[in-house]
Structure 1
């Protein structure tokens, strides 16, 4: 697993005193303050980096708005950021994807969430103080970005791309993109340890669904939250041709895109 993308609890624990490594907790403020958090973490709640108005590329908040959030948290473009939540990393992965899209070069997902950390390391209720910064974003160009549009996804359906639906079974059966493979994002997480499964197990699991590094992969869900986690995991495993359909099924249906319904045994890797 590439530690430039996903880092272990031990990796982070050994760097708590490194001022270049900054920890971002994306849980709600009441959890951060009332339950506790990792030492030195700053709170950037999930709802603060979503744009419900859908003005700027789906639910992304916009480069300037996101830069303001990071600046107010005392973060700089040169920092190594490690994000975590307490939901197996799905909300933190959305932060990672957003930061990458807006040009932060070194942002990583913690392998394991708050609960996993709390089993092995100390937490705190003390809030670290950081001076605000003037964060200057550098958004990726359309050519650099993994985000793809409705038209690009429609084109991918005509090729040998594997289109991956990361939602739950009942959602998948209600409506899905034509030929989509269902791969629940939670399949990569070990429920007992709350960490990612071993790399070899992940590769075998993905291959059983036809999701292999040699293929073009297009990810979607409903509103692009759950695919963030799958995107980060695939990237950490070395997949190079992974596309992220930000509009997901919500946009697809709004554009009257063709869908399939009902059960498909083959899509479950059977």
Structure 2
């Protein structure tokens, strides 16, 4: 697993005193305050970097809003940022995707979540002293970004791309893109450890769904939250041809894109 994308609790524990490593807790503020957090972590709740008004694309918060958020969190563009939540990493993965899209070079997902961390490492209720920065975002260009829109998805349907739907079975059966395969984002997580399954097991699991390195992969769900986790996992495994449909099925259906429905063997 590529440590430039996903890091273990032990990796982070060894760097708690490193001033260049900034830890971001994306749980609700009451969890951060009331339950405790990783030492040195700053609170950046999920809703603070998600905007339903489509400021940029999909539910991205907008360049200025994200820069202000990281300024207040004391993050500099050169920092290594590690994000975590307590939901197997799905909300933290959305932070990772957002930071990457706005040009932060080094942002990583904590393997596991707060529950996994707290089993073996110290936690605290003390809030760190935060010195605001003057963060300037540098968004990826359309050519650099993995995010794709309606037209690009329509074109990919005409190619040999594999469309990966990370939603629940009932959602998938109600409406899905033509030819899509269902891959529940939680399949990559070990229920006991709350961490990602071993790399070999992940590769086999993906291959069983037809998700292989030689295929063009297009990810979608409803509003691009769940695919964030799958996207980060694929990047950590070294998959390169992965597109992220930010508008997902919400945008697709709003633009009268073709969908199919019906029960499937799951």
Q: Same fold (TM over 0.5)?
A: yes
Helix, strand or coil at the partner of 1:243: strand
- Which structure 2 residues correspond to residues 64-213 of structure 1 after superposition, within 5 A? 64-213=64-213
Offset of residue 264 of structure 1? 2.6
1:57 matched residue in structure 2: 57
Helix, strand or coil at the partner of 1:23: strand
Unpaired segments ≥5 residues, structure 1? none
Offset of residue 263 of structure 1? 1.7
Instruction: Tell me, in whole angstroms, the C-alpha distance in 2 between the residues paired with 1:130 and 1:45.
Output: 16
Instruction: Tell me, in whole angstroms, the C-alpha distance in 1 between the residues paired with 2:50 and 2:201.
Output: 33
RMSD (Å), alpha carbons: 0.6
Q: Which runs of 4+ in 1 moved over 6 A?
A: none
Aligned residues: 266
- Which structure 2 residues correspond to residues 23-62 of structure 1 after superposition, within 5 A? 23-62=23-62
Offset of residue 55 of structure 1? 2.9
Instruction: Tell me, in whole angstroms, the C-alpha distance in 1 between the residues paired with 2:198 and 2:113.
Output: 16
1:252 matched residue in structure 2: 252
Instruction: Tell me, in whole angstroms, the C-alpha distance in 2 between the residues paired with 1:21 and 1:73.
Output: 13
Unpaired segments ≥5 residues, structure 2? none
Instruction: Tell me, in whole angstroms, the C-alpha distance in 1 between the residues paired with 2:51 and 2:67.
Output: 14
1:10 matched residue in structure 2: 10
Cα deviation code 1:23-80 (max 9, x no counterpart): 0000000000000000000000000001111231010001111010000000000000
Offset of residue 188 of structure 1? 0.2
Helix, strand or coil at the partner of 2:83: strand
Instruction: Tell me, in whole angstroms, the C-alpha distance in 1 between the residues paired with 2:99 and 2:63.
Output: 9
Q: What is the TM-score normalised by the length of structure 1?
A: 0.98
